[in-house]
Amino acid sequence: MDSGLVLAWLYEHRLKLADPLGDVESVYADFDYPEEMSRFVRYMPSDDPDLRDHRLNQARIFGKWEQYLRQAQEQLSRR
């Protein structure tokens, strides 16, 4: 199975999951830590400044996850 499919499913159902970013961390490990996922794994270092608000920092991570999925979808549609 492709990590992108799993991530898309998780993102689609994120509001029903207890810890969707924890699930992302599991996928990250299960697929041997793909570099392209590191931007939206919450424990990975980021070049982005701390927004000093947990909710804002978390929203930024979700935005990066969504951006990853959009880019993956664009790549698939070009094939």
Structural domain count of the chain: 1
pLDDT in tens, 17-71: 999 999 999 999 999 999 999 999 999 999 999 999 999 999 999 999 999 999 9
Q: Where are the beta strands (DSSP E) in 1-79?
A: none
d(CA 48, CA 75): 26
C-alpha of 77 from chain center = 20
Nearest to 36 by CA among 3, 1, 78: 3
Task: State the residue range of the domain holding 39.
Answer: 3-78
Residues 6 or more apart in contact with residue 30 via CB below 8 angstroms: 3
- pTM value? 0.91
